Structure 1
């Protein structure tokens, strides 16, 4: 079963992009083909969902980091920086 799990996950980041329903359907097909037992299917589904969640979190972190690096390189201001500047302008306008 471990080998089967590794094969399933090694299909790229399939587990990360599969929905729970897709994973359940794929595992049910494995049960129908006799590649795993019905008893093993529940454990496999849980493992794939867990692995998918972890991969999604890792991908989100990598993407956020890359986007941040790119924005820094482009010298663009962030929303927070823009809001601070807007507040400062409003304060200065009120003083006049």
Structure 2
């Protein structure tokens, strides 16, 4: 399943890079024709890149959620589960030490 997600991500990334290159060419054409100023072209490109970054963040969050769901469905322990168990073990070890000290006195 992760291979499919990886391929999908790479496909999207390739499309974004291709789209950026095509947008860059088109913006240069519009600047040369004086239909856009250099500053307007930069603003359009900046907006395009910003939107891409937002989409990347959204995709990363969605992928994380899907991975967590798959791990739960498969009964796999997540990092959070393991950290919670470590904390519980530490607490129990501390209790055992306290009880041993109390029984010695």
Q: Do these two structures clear the TM 0.5 threshold for a shared fold by scoring above it?
A: yes
Residue 88 of structure 1: aligned partner: 88
d(CA) in 2 for partners of 1:59, 1:16: 15
Residue 30 of structure 1: aligned partner: 26
CA displacement, residues 26-84 of structure 1 (integer Å, 9 cap, x when unaligned):
61x3355x2x2161421221221122122112211221121111111111122222122
* Structure 2 unaligned regions, length at least 5: 1-10, 101-105
RMSD, aligned α-carbons: 3.2
Residue 49 of structure 1: aligned partner: 49
Asked if structure 2 preserves the Cα contact closer than 8 Å seen for 1:13 and 1:55, the reply is no
Q: Aligned in 2, Cα 1:69/1:48: closer, same or farther, shift over 3 Å?
A: same
Length-normalised TM-score, structure 2: 0.53
Once the two structures are superposed, the pairs formed by residues 56-75 of structure 1 within 5 Å of their partners are 56-75=56-75
Q: Which has the larger radius of gyration?
A: 2
Higher relative contact order (CA 8 A, sep 6+): 1
